[in-house]
Amino acid sequence: MKQIEQLTGDYLLSLLFESMTSDKMIETIDSLGLEQPVLDEQYEMDREVVILDKNHGLSFNFREIKECSQSGEPCLYRLSFEKSYQGSLPFGISAPDDYQQVKEKIGRKADFRDEEIATNVRIWIIETEQGKQYTFNVFFIDEDNLEGIHSITAMPYDPDFDNEDNYTVCEE
């Protein structure tokens, strides 16, 4: 069993698209001391199974997605690192980082920003080693200066939604 200290942000991010019942997912949830999610007779396709880990500032959302649900069981669809998360964040990002530092750590500017609902978010489209794409959404505390990480959410990239029709292309 992995120790909680070994569950780095990069490791947790690697769980995106992982089946809810895979050995890797079960081991991780056990390591965090959380109850394993269970599908009951109430579960329906397109509904989410959510695990909120308030002790560690994490949330895991599972649902059936085309990228990995061939067997019909939910996969990790959304992973959120909340402000209270105490572990290492993905890409070596740190809680006090500003947008410039996050850009350097990810290796490029964000693809999009939201000018209507959450002006403090920057969105990167990232591809896994397996060729699956996801959005990496960084929410900053200081909306004007884009400083301090409030939260980070990763979820599958949806080209029908994650595009110029819904977001502004990031020039900065």
From 61, 81, 101, the end of a domain falls on 81
pLDDT at 1: 43
pLDDT at 24: 92
From 81, 113, 129, the end of a domain falls on 81
pLDDT digit string, tens, across residues 99-132: 999 999 999 999 988 877 788 999 999 998 888 8
pLDDT digit string, tens, across residues 15-40: 999 988 889 999 998 888 888 877 66
**Are residues 23 and 75 both part of a single domain?**
yes
pLDDT at 158: 84
pTM equals: 0.86
Cβ pair 32, 7 in contact under 8 A? yes
Place of tokens 């990480």: 149
Which residue segment(s) compose the domain that 133 sits in?
A: 90-169
Our count of domains for the chain comes to 2
pLDDT digit string, tens, across residues 51-91: 767 778 888 888 877 666 566 678 898 999 998 888 889 99
**Are residues 145 and 76 both part of a single domain?**
no
**Are residues 68 and 111 both part of a single domain?**
no
**Are residues 97 and 162 both part of a single domain?**
yes
